[in-house]
Amino acid sequence: MCQVVGVRHGTMWCMTKPAWQRLWQPHRGLFWLMIVFNLLSSLMAWMLRTVPLSTAGLLVVGGFALANALGGLWLAARLWRGA
């Protein structure tokens, strides 16, 4: 969808929503799930840097942090497309 902003010599110019307006949808559950995933991955990345963990702990927390980041990106893509 586009909003027509001008017509000259039979050519229309369209203006689409800015990217942040396509992502900022607080009325949808996907938006809040994306926020939670991104906050969790940030928290886990902080834990990886500050909390001394064993190798197994590093792998588990790192795997969850990566999965949360990818989940947040996937949800952001769905919101961006309007799905």
Given a cut of 50, the residues of the chain with pLDDT beneath it are 4
Q: How far apart are CA 64 and CA 26, in angstroms?
A: 25
- Tell me, what's the pLDDT at 23? 75
- Tell me, what's the pLDDT at 18? 64
Hey, where are the domains in the chain? 24-81
pTM of the model as a whole: 0.69
End-to-end CA distance of the chain: 14
- Closest of 40, 29, 34 to residue 66, by C-alpha: 40
In angstroms, the Cα distances linking 77 to 16, 50, 57 are 17, 31, 30
